[in-house]
A and B are shown apart, each in its own frame.
Chain A
Amino acid sequence: MNGALDVVLRLLAVFVVFLTFPLIVGQTEHKVMAHMQGRLGPMYAGGFHGWAQLIADGVKFAQKEDIVPAGADRRIFQLAPAVALLPYLLVLLAIPIGPSEGAVGQAVDAGIFFVLAVMGVGVLGSLMAGWASANKFSLLGGLRTAAQLLAYELPMLLAAASVAMAAGTVSLPGILNAFQWWWLPWQIVGAIVFFVAGLAELQRPPFDMPVADSEIIFGAYTEYTGLRFALFLLAEYAGIIVLCGLTTVLFLGGWHGPWGADGLGWLWTLLKTAILAFVVIWLRVTYPRLREDQLQKLSWTLLVPLALAQIALTGIVKVVIS
């Protein structure tokens, strides 16, 4: 009974995080983007600096009519948002936020492989949406999504493999237990490759070619309205949380901090994740969108060689210190 209650509580906690954190990131994005561009952003909803803007947005989405285009493949069209969103919920389960037993939804033995594998499944949602919409822009968006995923999955995997080599384990809590502060400079190249590749996998600017609104309207999501469209947006922001959390855990030492790490480890994890999320928003405001050929070139001629060099460096250092 106690065990069952424990499981239910953990699932509930992860679910609450899954529902609230993406909204917080979304609201932060509204405000940060606005201030970086010399605007105020939402100011009215909820009273204080428009804090309830995204709740209002959610209500608006829920009221809209759910339309399936006449020529679309109904079932796949309707299934796609769930396929896009659910993997991120599963990944959140495996990310540890603190050193204690209770600070991870479910400890997975092959944690790195689990999170990367399940994150890759999420992209299937965009592909399904792109194909099933029976819309040329959606199809183009789906194609670009697939090309982007194929290009950026490899550097992401290689960078994660470098950390696994350094720690000698593929479990996420295991990696954090082995973490030393000097891993930060040692793995910095891998960290940047991982983060950039992750951004590309989430289709965040400057890698938002698949949803480039000035060219193909909104890519694979063009035909979606109402709640299903909101689910795709939620998947994007949940993806930001997952990517920032993973980068924190793999490369930035998770719950380790220069001081106060005892008992307050989860605070360090949240702080690092929040800073990375801020960087994600910052990049969106700063850089123009990359063209498709630039995207591919960046991945194959820069990120993949850098990730391989990082693996070589990790191997050399590992042999030298052992």
Chain B
Amino acid sequence: MNPASAALATAAAGTHGFLSPTGVEIAFLLVGVVTFGAALVTVSTKQLVHAALWLVATLGGLAVEYLLLTAEFIAWVQVLIYVGSVVVLLLFGLMLTKAPIGRSPDADSGNRWAALTVAIAAAAALVWVVVDAFRTTWIDLSGPASGSTEVTGASLFQHWVLPFEALSVLLLAALVGAIVLSRKAKADAAATAASTPTVPGSRSEKEGVR
């Protein structure tokens, strides 16, 4: 980029307004609307597997939003972990429990109003925090990517290494807890079914999946 256009870019960055959207901003909003719609369908559809597949659309839409914010690394990790693993796990569980094709009439929960309240409260809190934190921050799209792998890694392991380590300990605790719980369930099953021998391990495997 030559100095003149750099000066233009900074001038443009200084005069950002809500009424002069760029192409990227429009794309961001449109993808956001689609993602939001997919999320709504995810929680409102009565077909269980469709809900899981709409969740794919939602998570994929989020990945596109990350991409538009130049956070390429986060976007691909989002696809890898959520679409590639979490949804596959969900679908695995749904198939194990023989999710029917077509509507499940009992897919409605009596707690839906409580759930809606919690969801709106959580969304409001998040929006408030994010708006408050990043009110005047604009990403310079024409400069070097501010969310590339290198930048993300440097900030993660230089400024945020303590939260990162704390999170890894939390995940380790969850992992150990899951193993302990599944072993306990297995021991209980062995104790109750001592007279009637069953296939060893089959129960604990299903418990682990759920």
Contact = CB atoms under 8 A, between A and B. Distances in A.
B96 interface: yes
A76 B49 contact: yes
Contact of B72 (A109, A116, A157): A109
Contacts of B83: 117, 120-121, 124
A113 B76 contact: yes
Interface residues of A, number: 34
A310 to B, nearest CB: 20
B119 interface: no
Interface in B19-77: 47, 49-50, 53, 56, 72-73, 76-77
B73 A110 contact: yes
A117 B88 contact: no
Interface stretch (A27-35, A125-133, A203-211): A125-133
B164 interface: no
B198 interface: no
A128 B53 contact: yes
A149 B80 CA distance: 12
Interface stretch (A138-146, A176-184, A269-277, A311-319): A138-146
A9 interface: no
Contacts of A73: 47, 49, 101-102
A118 B75 CA distance: 11
Nearest to B80: A117
A150 B79 CA distance: 15
A85 interface: no
A134 interface: yes
Given A109-B145, A132-B101, A150 B88 contact: yes
Interface in B59-113: 72-73, 76-77, 79-80, 83-85, 87-89, 91-92, 94-96, 98-99, 101-102
B91 A146 contact: yes
Contacts of A131: 49, 91, 94-95, 99, 101
Contacts of B77: 113, 117
Contacts of B10: none
Interface of A: 71-73, 76, 108-110, 113-114, 116-118, 120-121, 123-124, 127-128, 130-132, 134, 139, 142-143, 146-147, 149-150, 153, 157, 169-171
Chain B interface mostly: helix
Contacts of A142: 91, 95
Nearest to B70: A109
Interface of B: 47, 49-50, 53, 56, 72-73, 76-77, 79-80, 83-85, 87-89, 91-92, 94-96, 98-99, 101-102, 145, 148-149
A171 B149 CA distance: 9
Contact of B80 (A116, A132, A134, A146): A116
A170 B88 contact: no
B62 to A, nearest CB: 13
Contacts of B92: 127, 143, 146-147, 150
B88 A127 contact: yes
B72 A153 contact: no
Contact of B76 (A71, A110, A124, A134): A110
Nearest to A147: B92
Given A109-B149, A146-B91, A134 B101 contact: yes
A157 to B, nearest CB: 8
A113 B80 contact: yes
Contacts of A72: 101
A223 to B, nearest CB: 12
B79 A121 contact: yes
Contacts of B49: 73, 76, 131-132
Given A110-B149, A131-B49, A143-B95, 6 more contacts: A71-B101, A113-B73, A117-B84, A120-B84, A121-B79, A131-B95
Contacts of B56: 124
Contacts of B91: 124, 127, 131, 142, 146
Nearest to A79: B53
Contacts of B80: 113, 116-117, 120, 157
Contacts of B94: 131
A274 to B, nearest CB: 28
A143 B91 CA distance: 9
A130 B96 CA distance: 12
B162 to A, nearest CB: 22
17 contacts: A73-B49, A76-B49, A76-B50, A109-B72, A109-B73, A113-B77, A120-B88, A121-B84, A127-B91, A131-B49, A139-B95, A139-B98, A143-B95, A150-B85, A153-B85, A170-B73, A170-B149
